[in-house]
Amino acid sequence: YAIALVTGSYGGAEGTLSIWRPTLEDDSEMSLSQIWVLSRTADDFSMSLEAGWM
């Protein structure tokens, strides 16, 4: 789990998701790999882009 906060104007982002050999203890568990890119305006309006593998 990590969070990065940057200011400025950006036109993209890049990340790596690992889905190789998820380990589960029993059938009630799940594995999730996810990345979010979030933009928040000065009046606290949020826009998000989310991608993942479940």
Does residue 49 lie within any of the structural domains?
yes
Contact 39, 47 (CB under 8 A): yes
Does residue 51 lie within any of the structural domains?
yes
pLDDT of residue 28: 94
> What is the percentage of the chain residues whose pLDDT exceeds 70?
100
Does residue 54 lie within any of the structural domains?
yes
Does residue 18 lie within any of the structural domains?
no
Domain that holds residue 37: 29-54
Contact 30, 37 (CB under 8 A): no
pLDDT at 13 over 80: no
Q: Which residues pair with 49 in a beta bridge?
A: 37
Number of domains the chain is built from = 1
Does residue 24 lie within any of the structural domains?
no
Instruction: Tell me the whole-structure pTM to 2 decimals.
Output: 0.51
Per-residue pLDDT tens over the stretch 14-27: 878 777 888 889 99
Does residue 2 lie within any of the structural domains?
no
Q: How confident is the model at residue 51 (pLDDT cuts 50, 70, 90)?
A: confident
